[in-house]
Structure formats: structure tokens, C-alpha cells
Amino acid sequence: MDLVWLILCGLISLVAHELGHAGAARVCGFDVDAIRFGVGPPMTKFRRNRIDIYIGYPWTLFIGYVELSIPRRTPILPRLFVSSAGLLVNAILMVICSLGDTYLHQWTALFAPLGVLNLGIIVLNSIPFVAMRRGYTRMWTDGGLIAGLIQEAITGRNFTER
């Protein structure tokens, strides 16, 4: 049961994280083309609210990303909001789990793993590095995108688009 709950917590955290990016993009008026859970060819896909949702094979499900159409000359603040929205959702989940763990002692076994996994997602996604490559496109972690946007605000050049 513990392993099943741990895997389920990871999937909940990942889905919430990617939906945070997609929701922020929609709020900013950007088009969300697709949400992908897993890498490689999808095991299944479907369309909801004009968004293609791809679900990969189980061993690749702990990687996800959102495909967005952001106009070239978009100001930095909306892009920064979208890039950090997934981390914000994970931080909110982590705080909720910490409060639940603190005040609802009988539910500690449920809240603790979810809170720890969200903390892990925040830490790992905050490190600026290329997470994977798709063809000639580099897929940056949220930390890489945020660092690139800060650099663009300061210097006018974004290292993530080289």
C-alpha cells in the first residue's frame, strides 16, 4: 500500500504542477497546445477544451511538460508567471499537506508523502538545467526558464533560446 500511495502521490503532484502551468498560461491569454505526461510516443491521447492531452507509458509518467504558443514579443512578467506557476502549485500543495500532517494526526500517512514529494519537485525543478532535448529543442526545467527570463530582463538576451 505504501508504494502504491507513493506512486499515486507522485502522479498527483505532477498533474497539479503541469495544470498550474496550463492554467497560468490560459489566464495570461496564451494558447495551450498540449499537456504531456511521460516522454516518447503516447500510450493514449485525448482532446479536452481544445488541448491535446498525451499520456505516456507508465515508466515515463514522472516527466511532464506543457506545450504553449507564446507570441515572440510577450513581456517578461506573464512568461515569468507561467514558468513559476507549477512551482507555486506544488508549494501550495506542500503547505496544505504540512498543515494536514500537523493538525490531522490520524491522516499523517497520507499527507506526509505528498508533502515531501511536492518539496522534492520544487527543489529539482528550481535547478536551472536542460531536462531533455526534443529534436533541436532544449526542454528547460522551470528554474532554467526563470533564470533565462531574469537574464533577459537584465541583459536583453535569454540564454534558454540559443
pLDDT tens figures, 91-103:
999 999 888 878 8
Q: Residue 67: phi, psi to the nearest 5?
A: -95, 120
The DSSP H or E segment spanning 79 is helix 76-103
pLDDT tens figures, 63-86:
888 999 888 788 999 999 999 999
CA 26/CA 21 separation, integer angstroms: 9
pTM, entire model: 0.87
